[in-house]
Amino acid sequence: MKSAAVPPSPRMPTPGERSGDDVLRAQILGQEHWSLFATRGAVWQEIFSRTATFLAILSATVVALSLVVQATGFGLNFRVIALLVLPLVLLLGTATYIRLIEADIEDAWLVIGMNRLRHAYVELVPGIERYLVIGFYDDEASLLQTYSFRRRVGATHLFAGSPNVVGIVNAVFSGVLAVIVGQALGLTTWLQIAIGVVVALSAGALMVAIFVRRLRKFPPDLVPQFPRPSED
């Protein structure tokens, strides 16, 4: 009676050899990485495009109003044109500011996705993490490490961002619009200036409140799957 044939045991891959599953996993991770990279590039392109469009429209408006002043002076015609055009530009600036904040949040989620993929690379190739200068965990500290190569983002980094630049321009623009409204109402010069300063500061505070509120909403939505190990 013949004994049942014993199936050959699977050959274990050598240390320098990768199994077929590892190769397939690396290919899938690479495709996903490039997809997120391309999406992030599109988001940054939108940020630059929206900022440039708003500043171009604002510059064109200022030039047009200066030509009106040269032709008619600061009279009724100037005030009518300014009060028709400037609110539209301010509305565009506010919409641009809000969209830039949302685009920054979208970019942060893309960075988290790319950090998770790098974590998978580290699992596939142990020891490769010493060559990575950006984060390969998906917690908040690793997100900031990918953005600025450190675990905290300084005030200057936030201040120089596109949303904050547009927000400052919107605040100043709101003050200028308030001064023109005060001039149309026949208020005294000092009262026009005071109202303009108050409106500019109030608009700036509103922009900061929108930014902080949206920024505070981000950490609770982040549930790390690969948090940084405790250093204790």
What is the per-residue DSSP string for 34-103? Answer: HHHHHHHHHHHHHHHHHHHHHHHHHHHHHHHHHHHHHHH-SSHHHHHHHHHHHHHHHHHHHHHHHHHHHH
Helix (H, G, I), strand (E, B) or coil at 17: coil
Asked if residue 29 belongs to a domain, the reply is yes
Q: Provide CB contacts within 8 A for 103, sequence distance 6+.
A: 43, 46, 47, 50
pLDDT at 101: 92
Asked if residue 1 belongs to a domain, the reply is no
DSSP letter for 160, please: T
- The domain of 60 spans 20-217
Asked if residue 2 belongs to a domain, the reply is no
Confidence bin at 9 (pLDDT 50/70/90)? very low
Q: Is the dihedral of CA 77, 78, 81, 83 positive or negative?
A: negative
Instruction: Say how far apart CA 165 and CA 47 lie, in whole Å.
Output: 12
Instruction: Say how far apart CA 53 and CA 1 lie, in whole Å.
Output: 86
Asked if residue 190 belongs to a domain, the reply is yes
Q: Tell me how far CA of residue 140 lies from CA of 48, 111, 198, 218, 225, in angstroms.
A: 25, 11, 36, 10, 12
Greatest alpha-carbon pair distance for the chain in Å reads: 116
Residue 18 has pLDDT above 60, yes or no: no
Average pLDDT, the chain: 83
Instruction: Say how far apart CA 119 and CA 137 lie, in whole Å.
Output: 6
Asked if residue 161 belongs to a domain, the reply is yes
pLDDT at 184: 85
Residue 171 has pLDDT above 50, yes or no: yes
Instruction: Say how far apart CA 77 and CA 81 lie, in whole Å.
Output: 6
pLDDT at 156: 65
| Counted domains in the chain | 1
Asked if residue 229 belongs to a domain, the reply is no
Instruction: Say how far apart CA 170 and CA 90 lie, in whole Å.
Output: 7
Instruction: Say how far apart CA 111 and CA 143 lie, in whole Å.
Output: 7
Instruction: Say how far apart CA 78 and CA 74 lie, in whole Å.
Output: 6
Asked if residue 121 belongs to a domain, the reply is yes
pLDDT at 153: 63
Residue 96 has pLDDT above 80, yes or no: yes
Averaged pLDDT for residues 24-33: 88
Asked if residue 182 belongs to a domain, the reply is yes
CA-based end-to-end distance of the chain:
64
Tokens of 46: 């939108």
